[in-house]
Structure 1
Amino acid sequence: MEARWQPDILGDGYEQQTIPLRSEVEGVDGAPVATLIRHLPRRRRLFQKRRMFEDVDVLYVHGWSDYFFQRRLAEYWASRGARFYALDLRRYGRSLRKGQVLGHVADLAAYDEEIGAALDIMKEEADDPRRLVLFGHSTGGLVLSLWADRNPGRATAIMLNSPWLELQFGRRTRHAIAPLTELGTKLDPLATGPNIDLGFYARAQQEVYDEEDPYEYDEQWRPNPSATVHVAWLNAILAGHAKVEEGLAIDAPVCALLSARSIAPVRWSEELTRVDSVLNVDRVARAALKLGASVTIERIDGALHDIFLSRREARTEAYSRMDRWAQGVLTQRIRPRG
């Protein structure tokens, strides 16, 4: 098993391994792969006090037109003793192969294959009972919420960073266009739609970039404007939103971190550096309450869509809230995952 891990692009302390997958889309590309990245905690020194999350594994899943590059998030968990893993899903980031359509999938349940494979690898590496924290950003939050609903008893806790649980334009618009995307998926699944991303979200991230908390990313894997939207992918997203609207039954406590405000990015303004310009956070907050019986909503003033790429004040507040919630939830007795 150890021989399969290779050095990762994030540098010292980060490793990756490729997960072969079955091809689920006919006529799109070759067999897909996923990539599992890991960042392990340092060994505890002699006489050092046990860290609070030493029996915890974290599995992070990124959002649309994105991949994992957030070192500080991994180091937050590892510094508290947790083993941190992240998935670059099929056709994203490290998993994107020549000729493939970035991010393409026709059914969000297809991701069960790489999530299951990642959890198997994580379990094989464990020599003691472990608890599982799922951590999803944006589309990754939707993917993991649906997975947790289908797989009760597996996760101990779920942390969501601006999860895409409802269409920006609301449920009425979603209901209106869903029949069109269903038909389009049957006729031409790779038909493209208009890209409404004007690049303002990426600009907002650049405006608030903090040299004391640096990060960098590959623009081929995280393009600006965002990747082309295809009808089959959009249909899969809308189907996921519909399931959330019906109500999920996630049996683990859920924490959804959201910006305090959102604004439609129709023109550039400095205000876009302090809001979620991707999702409608009020609609997402309402949808989050349908995830399960134990849901906490944390609204962060001044936060961007990716809470942990916001300006320093909002980012510091987000880490503080996450820390408070995680400590409260994870100080309970060990519940090994199945």
Structure 2
Amino acid sequence: MAGRWRTDVLGEDYRVRTLELAPDDEGDVVASLVRYAPPTPEPVRPVRAVLYLHGWSDYFFQTGLAEFWHAQGAAFYALDLRKYGRSLLAHQTPGYVDDLRTYDEEIEAALDQVHRDLGTSARVMLMGHSTGGLVGVLWANRHPGRLHGLVLNSPWLELQGAAVVRHVSAPAVMRLARLQPKVPLPNIDTGFYARTLRAAEGGEWTYDERWRPVPSFPARAGWLAAIIAGHAEVARGLHISTPVLMLASDRTVISPRWSEDMRSADVVLEVELLARRAVQLGPVVSVVRIPGGLHDLTLSAPPVRARLYAEISRWTAAYGWS
């Protein structure tokens, strides 16, 4: 069951509604669906829509992304997944699930709402960032024919250090997940990524730090086990039939010491791994590297964002979606 549309925290041009989900062991569970809905001279009912999935310890606030898709003639929706952002309730463990398939419920609820708004024939593209990209590709693989495209913004398709690290660490993580699934793991967030973003530290952005804290929400054993299982599934090869666009920065800078180079690189994931894993997603995959891109490419410097959006526009035109 969904609540009514109401004004979102991002302002009058954004609407949000609560999606009520099945309770879990922590009690009530909700997700939040945001729609960019600026006033138009005449009523408009687009025939295309984009549904955006955010990353780990994050929520939707990337208004420029919404404006880009709107300018392309697509209705833009963003989903704050359960236990994140607008959907995080006081009694919940932030970001925690022990199976990425759990998110099927809110993705289905969001798509149902999109089709209620736009009609059953509306063509929907899924866009995922980081962990949202991993969730998105696994969902798309299990639900062939549901999407008309998949756009990935630095998707988390493999652990840093590649498969060897996953194989070595997986048994210990799985054992801990069985015994103490919600035990917090050591937090390795240095705060450098936030430093590249926050206006107060030389970046461009302000956002709600209750929903995107520094350091990030603590990862927990059960959640990491679910992530590792998802990475293993990607490594075995997926069969996504719809065209896929994978975008990532052209370089990674991961270091225990701050460097100004971090302001023009991915400081979270190893982009070479992302590119190698992307070609295993399906038969039609385009990989585009964005010079100077941050981990969330939509939060990069203005010239980099312009390049990002130009590449997406070219890809959508090539596949007849725009």
TM range, normalised to the smaller chain? over 0.9
Q: Distance in 1 between matches of 2:202 and 2:283?
A: 36
CA RMSD between the two structures: 1.9
TM-aligned CA deviation for residue 205 of structure 1: 1.6
Structure 1 contact 42–78 (Cα < 8 Å) conserved: no
Tell me what 2:309 maps to.
319
* Equivalent residues, number: 320
2:169 partner amino acid: I
Structure 1 contact 40–82 (Cα < 8 Å) conserved: no
Structure 1 contact 69–216 (Cα < 8 Å) conserved: no
After superposition, give the CA deviation of every residue in 1:199-255 in whole Å (9 maximum; x if it has no partner). 001101235634xxxx53110100011110100000000000000000000011000
Structure 1 contact 208–310 (Cα < 8 Å) conserved: no
TM-aligned CA deviation for residue 45 of structure 1: 5.3
SS of 1:223's partner is coil
Listed as ranges, the matches of 1:287-298 within 5 Å are: 287-298=277-288
1:146 partner amino acid: L
Listed as ranges, the matches of 1:37-52 within 5 Å are: 37-40=34-37, 42-43=39-40
After superposition, give the CA deviation of every residue in 1:33-69 in whole Å (9 maximum; x if it has no partner). 10000113654659xxx9xx94211100000000000
After superposition, give the CA deviation of every residue in 1:242-277 in whole Å (9 maximum; x if it has no partner). 000000000110001100000213110101111101
Q: Distance in 2 between matches of 1:146 and 1:167?
A: 16
Structure 2 contact 49–124 (Cα < 8 Å) conserved: yes
2:28 partner amino acid: A
Listed as ranges, the matches of 1:63-212 within 5 Å are: 63-127=55-119, 129-206=121-198, 209-210=203-204
Q: Distance in 2 between matches of 1:299 and 1:84?
A: 24
Tell me what 1:273 maps to.
263
Structure 1 contact 255–296 (Cα < 8 Å) conserved: yes
User: Which of 31, 48, 57 is the aligned partner of 2:28?
Assistant: 31
Q: Which runs of 4+ in 1 moved over 6 A?
A: none
Q: Distance in 1 between matches of 2:96 and 2:238?
A: 25
Deviates more, 1:63-72 or 1:122-131: 122-131
Change (3 A) 1:3 1:67: closer
Structure 1 contact 262–276 (Cα < 8 Å) conserved: yes
After superposition, give the CA deviation of every residue in 1:293-332 in whole Å (9 maximum; x if it has no partner). 1101110111110001111221111111111112222348
SS of 1:21's partner is strand
Structure 1: segments with no counterpart, 5+ residues: 333-338
After superposition, give the CA deviation of every residue in 1:120-149 in whole Å (9 maximum; x if it has no partner). 111111246211110000000000000000
User: Which of 226, 242, 247 is the aligned partner of 1:236?
Assistant: 226
Q: Distance in 1 between matches of 2:92 and 2:59?
A: 16
SS of 2:13's partner is coil
Tell me what 1:309 maps to.
299
SS of 2:319's partner is helix
1:17 partner amino acid: R
Compute the TM-score of the two structures, normalised by the length of structure 1. Answer: 0.90
Change (3 A) 1:208 1:60: farther
Structure 2 contact 195–203 (Cα < 8 Å) conserved: no
SS of 2:11's partner is coil
1:71 partner amino acid: T
Structure with greater strand percent: 2
TM-aligned CA deviation for residue 2 of structure 1: 10
2:77 partner amino acid: Y
